Amino acid sequence: MPRWESGSAERLTRIAMELFAEKGFEETSVVEIAKRARVTTRTFFRYFPDKREVLFAESDGLRAALVERIRQAPDDEPLAVVLGALAGFDWDTLGREAQRQRHAVIAANPELLERDLSKQNDIAVAFTDALQQRGVDAAVARLTSRVGLQVFGVAYERWLSAGDADLAGIVAETMALLSRTASARAG
């Protein structure tokens, strides 16, 4: 079961996010997080090795879930497989407000941003492998994984700031924008 569904880690994450949003990531200590959550710091450290991992604890699980979606995807163009896996994932289960807060905290801290970019790169590498296992040519797998993640990333940020718009719709719109400029280039 992913940690965000289990009581205390989910609560600690929510409370840490509140504090990060209020005071900034660097200015928030584990002691403060534990205090507001009314647990000991020892309880905090049972769930997270440090405060940074509050933001990245789910990365491995998320990557595995997305890769599994690539493996299970119906036969289609590689870019459609990548975008389908990303857009079809139920991001709302992670909580949109929580994702918005997480995104803002990461964007405001260069060290966290570096770590986040590295996690995105891990996803690109895993997608490339999964596509190759589906028989996609290595260069195409690499290209469509990386481009697909960028298209999704742009759409995802719009979704985070877009009230209640539908993510799949925004992904399709973003992809249409790219197709227009990509085919103009090829033509």
Closer CB to a second copy, 72 or 161, in the complex: 161
- Cα–Cα distance list, 163 to 10, 80, 92, 107 (Å): 23, 26, 13, 19
CB of 60 to a second copy, least distance (A): 15
Contacts of residue 113, defined as CB under 8 A and 6 or more positions apart, other chains included, come to: 106, 107
Which CB sits closer to a second copy, 64 or 177?
177
Distance CA 164, CA 12 (A): 26
Q: Which is nearer to a second copy, 39 or 126 (CB)?
A: 126
CB of 115 to a second copy, least distance (A): 7
How far is it, in rounded angstroms, from Cα 151 to Cα 51?
Answer: 30
Q: Work out how close the CB of 144 gets to a second copy at its nearest, in angstroms, rounded to a whole number.
A: 6
Q: Among residues 67 and 131, whose Cβ is nearest to a second copy?
A: 131
Query: Which residues contact a second copy by CB under 8 A?
Result: 77-80, 83, 110, 113-115, 117-118, 120-121, 139-140, 142-144, 146-147, 150-151, 153-154, 158, 174-179, 181-186
Helix (H, G, I), strand (E, B) or coil at 40: coil
Residue 73 DSSP one-character state: P
CB of 20 to a second copy, least distance (A): 20
- Radius of gyration, alpha carbons of the chain: 18
